Amino acid sequence: MRLEKRWTFKPTDEPLAQSIQKDLNISLSLCRLLAQRSIRDFASAKHFFRPQLEHLHDPFLMKGMQAAITHIDQTIREGKKIMIFGDYDVDGTTAVAVVYDFLRGNAPDLSKEQLCYYIPHRYNEGYGLSTKAIDECAAQGISLIITLDCGIKSVEKIAYAREKGIGVIVCDHHLPEEGHLPEALAILNPKQSDCPYPFKELSGCGIGFKLISGLAMFWQLDMSLVYNYLDLVATSIAADIVPINGENRILAYFGVEKVNLNPCLAIQVIRELVDTKKVLKVSDLVFVIAPRINAAGRMDDGNKAVALFIEKDYATAQKMAAQLHEDNSDRRLVDKSISDEALLILQEDLGYKDNYSTVLFRPHWHKGVVGIVASRLVDYYYKPTIVLTESNNKITGSARSVTGFNIHDAIASCSDLLENYGGHYFAAGLTMSKENFEPFRQRFEDIVRQTISTESRCPEILIDTELELSQVNYKLFNILQQFEPFGPDNLRPVFVSRSVTNFRQSCKIVKDQHIKFLINQNGAQPISGIGFNLAYKFDLINSNKPFDIVYTIDENEWNNETSLQLKVLDIRASA
């Protein structure tokens, strides 16, 4: 089943684009891209193209920062113990590593015995603070827990910790429930309605970075000690799919620079393991680095990822990275097996095509990959999707959404059937008792059917602007490269060109699924293109009739020569 994609142009303020062109003296097409990214003049363009670490916000603007730092400093000076606690995914493990390693190396008067870290086991404990973790803290004589990438909804668990005489500082970036916040010593979360911090979209590791920034300022340390962790912050930003604008753009820009010039030992050994010498970008952090970090928590124990991040011995780090690489290989096999099984179930379900949602449960599916499987099913069927398995005698799993549909709110509408849930607009997690599965499945389907828009039931390609193929040259490409790092709210620009033709019948199918071709427009110089999973468009291209293409501009290397190439996202017959 192939769903034809909607082509939607991003809105552009044309007078603003023309004004920018007068300021910058570059092509109007580029100025439209800048206008779409909230660039208004030369000054804002300079901030965009030339990020500066000095433009990062003062950490003390964040509500709770002063209280958090005072408690941490006092706990250390009194010789009491601190536990750094975080989620088992990339964002959580990088956050724990950043805060733990910074304190271990730089906190005045801190002894080795005063500091430890804890990543909950995905299967035995689940997400966030657990009674087991708090009991373990009490047994170890822990005085202070610092949560990272979790804790904002742990009202009961933090109350339990207080009963045990343990204080908690919450560092989280998930949306808080106003009026239902935990009674913590301090809460660092810029999404609190009364937090004056200017930038609201930091990753969990980004919150940890602001905490150590504040500590460095309080202890009068050189900020280079803080910037040393920017590669891990950039990895968290990439993996957690937070917007790459504002402060995140600065953090990602310098973090990616550090990944390529002077990475931490963990990223260095992972790069060596996958044998990549190319310049890494945000997309490489997502698809090369992050899966190996995530594999620890998905397949075994997230503590292995933190252990690698803080390891200082090269040979030991190599062995640790090899183990994560193996975990990731196992994850890929399990992921493919479950994805294939899930697709077969849906193909054999005669009534499924009429459903507005996908909700699947099999007790034997691996909990660590159900989120990935849900994403694959969305790619295939384009419906709000929940994939569930059995864990600790409960049904639990992950949800993924489609453009324009808030899956967190839909799940919240079923909260009386759930024991736990959380997440955001496009992704969520949930747990329920076994007897509630069928009532939940039916109600979720009803909610999706009643609330999803017609547009959200059809996949969409967002197009930045139209180009003539004659405009595609290295002058344009070199400026586009300065738009990086790419990510949400600053995606790689997508272009459309109309009435192009197949140059000299060059189109060919590659590996049964992809197409390669040369195209030209109005007799101009031809340019090569590649369309992944677009082999079914072969007849359209080969029909000798003009067609329209949507694409991004990439660089292709072949036989030690580089040239520009269009990465074609979709093709349709010209009107």
The pLDDT tens digits of the residues spanning 272-281 come to 988 877 899 9
pLDDT score for 377: 96
120-145 burial: b if 16+ Cβ within 10 Å, else e: bbbbebbbbbbeebbeebeeeebbbb
pLDDT of 300 above 80:
no
Beta strands in 172-273 (DSSP E): 186-188
pLDDT score for 544: 84
- Radius of gyration of the chain measured on its C-alpha atoms: 25
Q: In the structure encoding, which two tokens stand for residue 175, read together?
A: 């949306």
* C-alpha to C-alpha distance for 230 and 205, rounded to whole angstroms: 10
The verdict on domain 349-457 having CATH code 3.90.76.10 is no
pLDDT score for 504: 86
In the block, tokens 């891990």 appear at 232
pLDDT score for 425: 83
pLDDT of 126 above 60:
yes
pLDDT score for 560: 77
pLDDT score for 400: 95
Per-residue pLDDT band for 305 (boundaries 50, 70, 90) equals very high
Mean pLDDT of 553-571: 90
- DSSP character for 383? S
Q: What CATH number matches the domain at 59-325, 3.40.50.300, 3.90.1640.30, 1.10.390.10, 3.40.640.10?
A: 3.90.1640.30
CA separation, residue 464 to residues 48, 217, 403, 508, 551 (Å) = 18, 42, 17, 28, 10
CB within 8 Å of 316: residues ≥ 6 apart: none
Torsion of CA 31, 33, 35, 38, to 10 degrees: -140
Q: What angle is formed at CA 255 by the lines to CA 176 and CA 278, rounded to 5 degrees?
A: 130
**H helix or E strand, kind and range, residue 248:** helix 246-261
CB within 8 Å of 24: residues ≥ 6 apart: 31, 34, 42, 45
Torsions phi, psi for 375 (to 5 deg): -60, -40
One-letter amino acid identity for 32? R
In the block, tokens 């950043």 appear at 98
Mean pLDDT of 287-316: 90
Q: What CATH number matches the domain at 6-50+461-573, 2.40.50.460, 2.40.40.20, 3.40.50.261, 3.50.50.60?
A: 2.40.50.460
354-376 burial: b if 16+ Cβ within 10 Å, else e: ebbbbbbbeeebbbbbbbbbbbb
pLDDT of 265 above 70:
yes
Q: Supply the angle between the helices 303-310 and 314-348 in degrees, to the nearest 10.
A: 150
pLDDT score for 44: 93
74-125 pLDDT per residue, tens = 999 999 999 999 988 899 999 999 999 999 999 999 999 999 999 988 777 7
* C-alpha to C-alpha distance for 132 and 204, rounded to whole angstroms: 23
pLDDT of 1 above 70:
no
* C-alpha to C-alpha distance for 376 and 398, rounded to whole angstroms: 12
Q: Is the dihedral of CA 121, 123, 126, 132 positive or negative?
A: negative
- DSSP character for 566? E
Q: What angle is formed at CA 172 by the lines to CA 280 and CA 128, rounded to 5 degrees?
A: 100
pLDDT score for 270: 94
- Counting every residue, how long is the chain? 575
What percentage of the chain carries pLDDT values higher than 70? 100
450-481 pLDDT per residue, tens = 999 999 999 999 999 999 999 999 999 999 99
- The domain locations on the chain are 6-50+461-573, 59-325, 349-457
* C-alpha to C-alpha distance for 82 and 168, rounded to whole angstroms: 10
What percentage of the chain carries pLDDT values higher than 90? 80
**H helix or E strand, kind and range, residue 461:** strand 460-463
* C-alpha to C-alpha distance for 434 and 394, rounded to whole angstroms: 6
pLDDT of 369 above 60:
yes
pLDDT score for 506: 86
pTM: 0.90
* C-alpha to C-alpha distance for 23 and 45, rounded to whole angstroms: 10
